[in-house]
Amino acid sequence: MALLSVKNLCAYYQTELYGISRTVRAVDGVSLELLRNEIYGVAGESSCGKTTLIKVISGNIKPPLKVNSGSVDYQFESYAVDMLHVSKDELRRNVRWKEISYVMQGSMSVLNPVRKVIKTFEDIVDTHDPITDKKKFLEQVTAHVNLLGLPTEVLNSYPHQLSGGMRQRVAIALATLFQPSLIIADEPTTALDVVVQRGVLQMIKDIQAMSGNTVLLVTHDMAVHANVADRVMIMYAGRIAEEAPTASIFNASLHPYTQHLIRSLPMIGERSNKAGLKGTPPNLANPPSGCRFHTRCPDVMEVCRTEVPDLVPVKERHRVACHLIQETSL
């Protein structure tokens, strides 16, 4: 059984400015499953709804964001959680950090800038299991941090004394302290330079291999997915364009948008400029009719302008939403 099952999720930002109300359809009809023991990548250009999707999946739903329809259900080892109806208290006490943890871009948002790193660990652990034995707690945290290859000194440092890469590793150590079932990482390496990026990604891979949990890795960087993900989902304008095992995404993609993303990856030794996609990402307050990609698609047909393509299975574990592609019975 899947760890997480998302069905027909629609999550919109409802804003009002100078009396004009606006609805941004950031996630618009998304269905997916996360399996146990996999790294599931989510890709797509900026503003396509990746962060909004994980806000809902992780239970961070606050105005102006509103879930209009759909369901988000977890089946953890010993209990189930309906994320759209669970109480805030239950979420805080039993779900956050213990079952689901979240690594954000720029780790300063979780590390308190005026407290030593160990104090942030203490604060978070204390809300779940009040610390009675300080010495034992310190031993456990030190062992965990060392296991992940970090020196003990990081615990006694202030965040600003650490490099960006080290801070991001500390944030990952914090996120994995309780061995959660799901680790969500939103652009975890986007702010880092390439060499540091590689180390942080390797750390995420190693932790996943060690503990067999599920990682939801969100990044616009396709090269990262190629190296890390087991499956990749391509999002375009609030909807899923394609989803497949990583090898199929890179070697046998079917959606013109996925093909564009892959073609625009730089190759070693290549000098020519990559051809960009014409047009700009659609405005999600007023998305295009039919297939949302039709305004930029090199293979656009008449039907694409009016009919929304369903996301259909084409091969095992491979789904595509494109009028060029016929559903195949598996």
Ligand X SMILES: Nc1ncnc2c1ncn2[C@@H]1O[C@H](COP(=O)(O)OP(=O)(O)O)[C@@H](O)[C@H]1O
Among all chains, which residue has been given the structure tokens 């979780």?
A: 110
Cβ–Cβ < 8 Å for 149, 201: no
Please list every residue from 55 through 74 that binds ligand X, using CB under 6 A: 64
| Eight-class DSSP state of 96 | B
Q: 224 touches which of Mg ion, ligand X, none (CB within 5 to 8 A by kind)?
A: none
Distance of CA 327 to the CA centre of its chain: 27
Which phi-psi region, left, alpha or beta, contains residue 36 (left: φ > 0; alpha: ψ -120 to 50)? beta
What SS3 class is residue 255? coil
The residue number with the shortest CB distance to Mg ion is 51
Q: How far is the CB of 57 from ligand X (least distance, A)?
A: 12
Which phi-psi region, left, alpha or beta, contains residue 116 (left: φ > 0; alpha: ψ -120 to 50)? beta
Please list every residue from 232 through 261 that binds ligand X, using CB under 6 A: none
Q: 46 touches which of Mg ion, ligand X, none (CB within 5 to 8 A by kind)?
A: ligand X
Q: How far is the CB of 293 from ligand X (least distance, A)?
A: 15
Give the number of residues in contact with Mg ion, rule: CB under 5 A. 2
Encoding tokens for residue 130?
């009040």
Q: How far is the CB of 257 from Mg ion (least distance, A)?
A: 18
Q: 48 touches which of ligand X, Mg ion, none (CB within 5 to 8 A by kind)?
A: ligand X
Encoding tokens for residue 265?
């990856």
Alpha-carbon distance of 94 to 74, in angstroms, equals 13
Cβ–Cβ < 8 Å for 255, 321: yes
* Choice between 105 and 140, CB closer to ligand X: 105
* Choice between 55 and 318, CB closer to ligand X: 55
Please list every residue from 25 through 84 that binds Mg ion, using CB under 5 A: 50-51
Alpha-carbon distance of 111 to 120, in angstroms, equals 6
24 binds ligand X, rule: CB under 6 A: yes
Q: Of 3, 34, 51, 188, which one interacts with ligand X (CB under 6 A)?
A: 51
Instruction: Determine the interface stretch with ligand X among 49-57, 140-148, 266-274, 289-297 (rule: CB under 6 A).
Output: 49-57
* Choice between 47 and 101, CB closer to ligand X: 47
48 binds ligand X, rule: CB under 6 A: yes
Q: In what order do the strands lie in the sheet containing 80-82?
A: 20-34, 4-17, 65-75, 80-82
Alpha-carbon distance of 55 to 324, in angstroms, equals 32
Alpha-carbon distance of 26 to 14, in angstroms, equals 10
26 binds ligand X, rule: CB under 6 A: yes
Q: How far is the CB of 237 from ligand X (least distance, A)?
A: 9
13 binds ligand X, rule: CB under 6 A: yes
Q: Which residues contact 85 (CB under 8 A, 6 or more apart)?
A: none
* Choice between 51 and 208, CB closer to Mg ion: 51
Q: How far is the CB of 301 from ligand X (least distance, A)?
A: 27
Measure Cα distances from 159 to 113, 122, 153, 164 in Å. Answer: 6, 15, 12, 9
Q: 24 touches which of ligand X, Mg ion, none (CB within 5 to 8 A by kind)?
A: ligand X
Alpha-carbon distance of 129 to 124, in angstroms, equals 9
Q: Of 9, 52, 192, 214, which one interacts with ligand X (CB under 6 A)?
A: 52
Q: Of 16, 18, 20, 46, which one interacts with ligand X (CB under 6 A)?
A: 46
The footprint of Mg ion (CB under 5 A) covers 50-51
- Summarize as ranges the residues that interact with ligand X (CB under 6 A): 13, 15, 24, 26, 44, 46-52, 64, 284
